[in-house]
Amino acid sequence: MQKVNLSTVSEFVFVGLSDAPEIRLLLFVLFLLIYLATMAGNITLLVAISTDSHLHSPMYFFLGNLSLLDLLCPTITVPKMLKALLLEYKEISFSGCLFQHFSLIDVVGTEIFLLTVMAYDRYVAVCHPLRYPSIMSTKLCAQLAMGTWATGLLNSLLHTSLVFTLSFCGPNKIQQYYCDIPPMLALSCSSTHSRELVILLVAGVLGCSACVVTVVSYIYILLEILARKSPGIWHKAFSTCGSHLTVVCLFYGTTICTYVRPSFTYSPHRDRVVSMLYGMLTPLLNPIIYSLRNKEVKCAVKTVISQVRRAL
């Protein structure tokens, strides 16, 4: 028999934020400042990469894609959250929730695959420096970038179809500030066991594959560094890979804690904190991490900032 959505719920209500009026305004100001700083940092990085000829290389091409994802991720969730804090309008339609869920899973999945591609790029740069321009050609970089976006899209289509073809006929209060997989599964009035297994299986296979490629890339990088034994090699390798490794650890840790686990371990209070890390703080920190650890990026960003100042 064909499965259809038997939902009687037409809208959902976010209850993931504090109802205390004295701190609601404080949270609004705090999250607004974080969001604006995130937008400014990633837009500046994108402009620097696109305008500085020294940054027209595969590494910075992928970094530009990462900055674009870091622009999209908070934009999907934060404006709605700010509206709820300021106007106390916490409702979202069923279709709006579906679109938000689809967009967020798409961006998060694409970022995981992009970080994996960036790890491979660092492996080629360190282990095959002379062949790097020929291996990481413009065509291959474009194919890898399109592949990450396409894989993220297909992954999101699968997860969204599994979640939103469930029946929602009871409570409609989402214990989060956006539509995410764990709180949506917790609200369903139909059996979610089989779909949870599929979600865990797909997320586990894709996540583990991405982790394996990343770990293997860095193992080869480490072996190459140990084999060369040349002076200054550690500093050069750290400057090449340190930023990416920091971002990987921060992003993977928070997303795995959120998604790769069964729903009975779902904790609204803990998950709000974790989701804040990868949903708001990680997009804010990524451009800072890359700017502080990379002299070329730092110089390009300073140039963009000085040009904006002169224009103003």
Number of domains in the chain: 1
pLDDT tens per residue across all 312 residues of the chain: 344 444 477 888 888 666 666 778 888 898 899 999 999 999 998 998 888 888 888 988 999 999 999 999 999 999 988 888 888 778 888 899 999 999 999 998 899 899 999 999 989 988 888 899 999 999 999 999 999 999 999 999 999 999 888 888 877 888 788 888 888 888 888 788 888 888 888 888 888 888 899 889 988 888 888 887 766 666 666 666 777 777 787 777 766 666 555 555 556 666 666 677 667 888 888 888 877 667 777 787 788 888 877 877
Give which of 115, 127, 95, 102 is closest to 225, Cα–Cα. Answer: 127
9: in domain? no
Its domain, for residue 182, covers 19-311
For the stretch 294-307, pLDDT in tens is: 777 778 778 888 88
Could you give the angle at the alpha carbon of 295 between the alpha carbons of 292 and 297, nearest 5°?
Answer: 75
Residue type, 38: T
Structure token pair of residue 208: 């583990």
10: in domain? no
240: in domain? yes
5: in domain? no
Q: What's the gap between Cα 257 and its chain centre? A: 14
Identify the CATH number of the domain in which residue 110 sits: 1.20.1070.10
Positive or negative, the CA dihedral 216, 218, 224, 229 is: negative
11: in domain? no
Do 76 and 278 form a contact (C-beta atoms < 8 A)?
no
For the stretch 2-24, pLDDT in tens is: 444 444 778 888 886 666 667 78
User: What is the residue-wise DSSP string for 132-170?
Assistant: HHHHS-HHHHHHHHHHHHHHHHHHHHHHHHHHHTS---S
